[in-house]
Amino acid sequence: MQRVRIAPQTGYGLKLKRGQVLRIIDPEGEQVSDVMAFAAGDKAEKLSSGRSIDYNNTIYLTAGHVLYSSRSRPMFTILEDTVGRHDFLLTPCSPETFEILYEGHEGYHPSCLENLAKNLGPFGIDEDDIPTTFNVFMNVAVSPGGELNIGPPLSKAGDHVDLRAEMDLVVGVTACSAEKSNNGSFKPIEIEVRER
Amino acid sequence: MQRVRIAPQTGYGLKLKRGQVLRIIDPEGEQVSDVMAFAAGDKAEKLSSGRSIDYNNTIYLTAGHVLYSSRSRPMFTILEDTVGRHDFLLTPCSPETFEILYEGHEGYHPSCLENLAKNLGPFGIDEDDIPTTFNVFMNVAVSPGGELNIGPPLSKAGDHVDLRAEMDLVVGVTACSAEKSNNGSFKPIEIEVRER
């Protein structure tokens, strides 16, 4: 079992076999990791926020919940979760995110969408294939009126989430690039693939 | 300007030119209409709940808000909205929705996903292309703990929403098939394409 370090503002792509567990670790605390998954060999079947939120009847998925594909099949089961607050509403930050939402922003900014596309490219997946991601450790509150409030992640150094693959998968993982998601600093993410 | 009636538990597909306005009308009240849109001529660019929620900073989109594509370009502007409560979190009901969420359900059940796919098929779009839809008149509350609560639509007979196309589009519209979304009854939806 090897631990892979994903440098700040970068991403990583990997294959998971059914039954393997992907551990996503926040080594320093208050960092976000956008996760996207596709059925191995058929990128038309992908992680679906809408199906997952609907079938679990909550926007906050945590240990015991199942993440579903666009074809309503289980993709991941969350086995362990030492934080309990993740986002499944928002798309990964993109170059346009910084233009539209970051006042005073100018020039190039790294983004999770680009980092997912770059690292999933070798598996035949491109930017247009990437919808709303499962944003591990991202802390988004919704007011009764529907307004979003993005707070610092609740994760502390060493916190982790374990995702068991329920089918063979291609997975993209990032160390998030957006200042507003990780309390203004950029940190690494670490992952492990565990056999169970 | 012709009014089209979409029969209960069915759907409709159409093209919109940039600048045209799609009016979605609930003729009897308490009915839901799932709406999906693709860029004309390039189905890889599609309506994105994640981008729209992020850029408007709310889960409840209404008059004045812009609905964005997966490439962060404006697809629709909501011009008028006599209801003010619509859902943009959930995928259209599918055969699996009824198996997973409807206790005691048996046998075939019509669904918005099938009705969108059937009516978008002639435009080259299939079921796998359809993500989270803009669910007009669907009334989904989110508790502070993240739990979803699907209530009867707030729409009364004759209420409507006007969506101005910000690019040439292919659009699918349904009269929803799910009992839990429309207070237990199935009703038609009506649409008009208006020139402005």
In tens digits, chain A (196 residues) has pLDDT values of 689 999 999 999 999 999 999 999 999 999 999 999 999 999 999 999 999 999 999 999 999 999 999 999 999 999 999 999 999 999 999 999 998 988 888 888 999 999 999 999 999 999 999 999 999 999 999 999 999 999 999 999 999 999 999 999 999 999 998 888 888 888 999 999 999 7
**Smallest Cα–Cα separation from B89: which of B181, B192, B159?**
B181
Which residues on chain A are in Cβ contact (under 8 Å) with B148? 53-54, 57-59
Q: What is the pLDDT confidence band of residue B183, given thresholds at 50, 70 and 90?
A: confident
For residue A133, the distance in angstroms to the closest alpha carbon of chain B comes to 9
- Is the alpha carbon torsion for A70, A75, A79, A83 positive or negative? negative
Q: How are beta strands B11-16 and B169-174 bridged, if at all?
A: antiparallel
**Smallest Cα–Cα separation from A111: which of A181, A15, A23, A16?**
A181
Angstrom distances, CA of residue A195 to CA of A15, A47, B121, B176, B191: 13, 22, 42, 43, 53
Which of the 8 DSSP states describes residue A135? E
Interhelix angle A49-56/B49-56, nearest 10 degrees: 80
The range of the structural domain enclosing residue B106 comes to 3-194
Facing residue for A59 by CB, picked from B55, B60, B142 = B142
Domain count, chain A: 1
At B176, list the tokens. 């929803």
Residues 7-46 of chain A with CB under 8 A from chain B are 44-45
Asked if residues B54 and B74 have their Cβ atoms less than 8 Å apart, the reply is no
Asked if residues B125 and B43 have their Cβ atoms less than 8 Å apart, the reply is yes
Which residues on chain A are in Cβ contact (under 8 Å) with B131? 48, 50, 70, 131-132
A102 touches chain B (CB under 8 A): no
Which of the 8 DSSP states describes residue B103? T
For residue A46, the distance in angstroms to the closest alpha carbon of chain B comes to 9
Whose tokens are 């101005």? That residue is: B164
**Cα(B183)–Cα(B152) distance, rounded to whole angstroms?**
5
Cβ burial, residue B144 (10 Å; 0-12/13-18/19+): exposed
> Model ipTM?
0.95
Across the interface, whether the CB atoms of B54 and A145 are under 8 A apart is answered: no
Task: Tally DSSP H helices, then E strands, for chain A.
Answer: 3, 13
Give start and end residues of each alpha helix (H) in chain B.
49-56, 95-101, 112-120
Which residues on chain B are in Cβ contact (under 8 Å) with A45? 128
Segment holding A39, helix H or strand E: strand A33-39
Residue B180 has pLDDT above 90, yes or no: no
Dihedral angle at the C-alpha atoms of B40, B45, B46, B51, nearest 10 degrees? -140
- Could you tell me how many residues make up chain B? 196
User: B54, B88, B135, B154: which to substitute to probe chain A, counting the most A Cβ within 10 Å?
Assistant: B54
For residue B134, the distance in angstroms to the closest alpha carbon of chain A comes to 11
Which residues on chain A are in Cβ contact (under 8 Å) with B53? 89-90, 148
Which residues on chain A are in Cβ contact (under 8 Å) with B112? none
Which residues on chain A are in Cβ contact (under 8 Å) with B147? 57-58
Residue B181 has pLDDT above 80, yes or no: yes
- The predicted pLDDT at position A139 comes to 97
Question: Nearest 5°: CA angle at A96, between A94 and A98?
Answer: 85
Asked if residues B171 and B24 have their Cβ atoms less than 8 Å apart, the reply is no
Nearest CA in chain A to B145: A60
**Cα(A71)–Cα(B11) distance, rounded to whole angstroms?**
20
For residue A2, the distance in angstroms to the closest alpha carbon of chain B comes to 33
Across the interface, whether the CB atoms of A50 and B142 are under 8 A apart is answered: no
Question: Nearest 5°: CA angle at A24, between A43 and A35?
Answer: 30
Tell me the DSSP string of A74-142: EEEEEEEESS---B-SSPPP-HHHHHHHSTT--S----HHHHHHHHHGGGT--GGG--S-EEET-EEEE
B154 touches chain A (CB under 8 A): no
Which of the 8 DSSP states describes residue B167? S
Facing residue for B55 by CB, picked from A55, A57, A101 = A101
